[in-house]
Amino acid sequence: MRLVLVGPPGAGKGTQAQFLAAHYSIPHISTGDIFRANLKAGTPLGVQAQSFMDRGELVADSVTNEMVKDRLTHDDVANGFLLDGFPRNVAQAEVLRAILAEKATPLTAVLELSIDDAEIIGRLSSRRTCKDCFQPSVGVDKCPLCGGDVYQREDDKAEVIARRLEVYAEQTAPIISFYRNEGLLITVSATGKVEEITEHAISALSRVS
């Protein structure tokens, strides 16, 4: 299963990605998590990405594409992968198509999580993120997965959320039609219980894989 997960910030991509990656036994590759890990470790990549991330803007394609290209050379992607947060624009989608074409391993499907803007804003402003494993959670002091401390991401603050939604609408939403035209798009509603959304996704994906 070679899967891309797409949807606006706050649609629950990270949460669904975890369940889906476990279900298909494939690595969950989140470009946001890779940037955050680099930021935490103080690497040059993290330093380069930080100002874009804090403002809710996209990190430069050249930087992001290289990072993903490198990640897709690791052994653990031999049986597939789940990409979460990449591609974020049509240029990145084209680069991904070229990387995969070179290896003759095209995408199996692109799963879109669809949700209204009003619900997104409520979800994101109450979201907290683990400092250690980046797991998102709501209403807790410690990470439910690893027990680490949680914090509010700079880009989950109200003013930055608005910009992230604009960036999604302007730059990321066009990849939906791109993938629809490629015959890869599957859309499921991201509203409701987490387990039900996962079930709908798995059932829709069983029809294409």
Task: Provide the annotated active-site residues.
Answer: 13, 88, 127, 153, 164
51 vs 209 by CB, closer to ligand AMP: 51
Footprint of ligand AMP (CB under 6 A)? 9, 31-32, 35, 52-53, 56-59, 64, 85-88, 92, 155, 164
Residues 6+ away with beta carbon under 8 Å from 192:
none
Contact between residue 205 and residue 186 where contact means Cβ atoms under 8 Å apart = yes
Whole-number Å distance between alpha carbons of 24 and 111: 14
Q: Give me the residue label for tokens 């991401």.
A: 153
What phi and psi, each to the nearest 5 degrees, are found at residue 103?
A: -95, 5
8 vs 207 by CB, closer to ligand AMP: 8
Closest CA relative to residue 55, chosen from 170, 171, 155, 125: 155
88 vs 123 by CB, closer to ligand AMP: 88
Q: Report the nearest approach of ligand AMP to the CB of residue 24 (Å).
A: 20
Q: Report the nearest approach of ligand AMP to the CB of residue 144 (Å).
A: 18
Q: Report the nearest approach of ligand AMP to the CB of residue 180 (Å).
A: 19
Whole-number Å distance between alpha carbons of 20 and 3: 10
Contact between residue 193 and residue 118 where contact means Cβ atoms under 8 Å apart = no
Treating both helix axes as pointing N-terminal to C-terminal, what angle do 61-71 and 90-102 enclose, rounded to 10 degrees? 30
Q: Report the nearest approach of ligand AMP to the CB of residue 156 (Å).
A: 9
Task: Sort strands 109-114 and 185-189 into parallel, antiparallel or unpaired.
Answer: parallel
12 vs 56 by CB, closer to ligand AMP: 56
Question: What residue is closest to ligand AMP based on CB?
Answer: 32
